[in-house]
Structure 1
């Protein structure tokens, strides 16, 4: 399973316009493409960041759509008044306690490790991050996407409410510090976002 994520940092005032564009125009066209399983959109209304992720049955299916989705990405950038950062991933872990719903909240954590350490990062996520989060109030799901060639990884933990998510900040910080001490992982970015569109449709991968 593979995914493409597009992150745009722009004008917070344009968040709702971007959500409408993705829901009404982008999602019907993209999800009709061969190999596409679904789409999600996260939004930080304070900073103006949106993160759209599409899921694909194979890397070939994902890469075959590069030219088709590029104009849609450009239009989203115009709406938000920002530039896009695009990443392509292998979906290494997907675990759900509850199906995704719009209005729930996610913590997205980007990190970089040595490519040789990607497998141990996956194991740490399963054995420690996911196990710790599962016991917390409001936990819904956790996922990890990786780029084995570069060592870039992106982990997401989703909770029912913003308060549930905020209650796990200290635990999440402790897990990041533990991983950094063990393997010298660099955490490059962290964001907390509302789930604006919940339609990723990735099966359980643990």
Structure 2
């Protein structure tokens, strides 16, 4: 399973316009493409930052969709009021676990880190054996995933919770777990973000 993420710096006041466009036009168009297995959009209403994710059944399907997706991405950028361009990245979905679907008002914590190619393999094993068993016990847990780029050594984990209050309540436990894991991996944390799940129609199968 493969993932394409698009990071856009939009304008906070335009977040709802961007979400409406994704729901009504972009998602139907993307989901009709061969190999597409869903789409989601995370938003930060304070900063205007947005991360759109599309999931694909194979790397070939993801690559084949690139040209058709590009004009849709342009429209989303305009709707979000972005003037600084976008950052597009492709990932392999390494771990996916879903306890239940994210309800309205759900939020997620994303942890971005990097190391070398060996770090990626170790991160996958540690996520399965150490991280996932602990975070799924946290109150309000919905789902978790780990995406990797084996070539560059980049990794991003996402943990979704029912509410922002649940995200807040899990910060201390998540930070302690994150510090332990990063220390054992010898990786570097690039960023930790907490974002609203504005749109979620991903149908990636369980990969735990």
Same fold by TM-score greater than 0.5: yes
Q: What does residue 194 of structure 1 align with? A: 196
Cα pair 2:40 2:54 within 8 Å, conserved: yes
Structure 1: which 5+ runs fail to align? none
Structure 1 residue 20: Cα displacement: 0.6
Q: Distance in 1 between matches of 2:87 and 2:192?
A: 15
String of CA shifts for 1:158-188, please: whole Å, max 9, x gaps. Answer: 1111111111111121122112322221111
Alignment of 1:30-69 (within 5 A): 30-69=30-69
Q: Distance in 2 between matches of 1:204 and 1:67?
A: 29
Q: Distance in 2 between matches of 1:144 and 1:196?
A: 20
Q: What does residue 21 of structure 1 align with? A: 21
- 1:127 paired with 2:124, answer no
> Closer, same or farther in 2 for the Cα pair 1:85/1:102, shift >3 Å?
farther
Question: May I ask how many residue pairs the two structures share in their alignment?
Answer: 206
Q: What does residue 160 of structure 1 align with? A: 162
Q: Distance in 2 between matches of 1:180 and 1:38?
A: 30
Alignment of 1:70-85 (within 5 A): 70-82=70-82, 83-85=85-87
Structure 1 residue 80: Cα displacement: 2.0
Q: Distance in 1 between matches of 2:159 and 2:20?
A: 24
CA RMSD of aligned residues (A): 1.1
Cα pair 1:146 1:154 within 8 Å, conserved: yes
TM-score (norm 2): 0.95
> Closer, same or farther in 2 for the Cα pair 1:54/1:102, shift >3 Å?
farther
Q: What does residue 146 of structure 1 align with? A: 148
TM-score (norm 1): 0.96
Cα pair 1:6 1:86 within 8 Å, conserved: yes
Tell me the secondary structure at the aligned position of residue 92 of structure 2: strand
Q: Distance in 2 between matches of 1:43 and 1:173?
A: 22
Cα pair 2:122 2:185 within 8 Å, conserved: no
Structure 2: which 5+ runs fail to align? none
Q: What does residue 169 of structure 1 align with? A: 171
String of CA shifts for 1:43-98, please: whole Å, max 9, x gaps. Answer: 11111111111110000000101111111111222222322111111100000111
Cα pair 2:102 2:161 within 8 Å, conserved: no
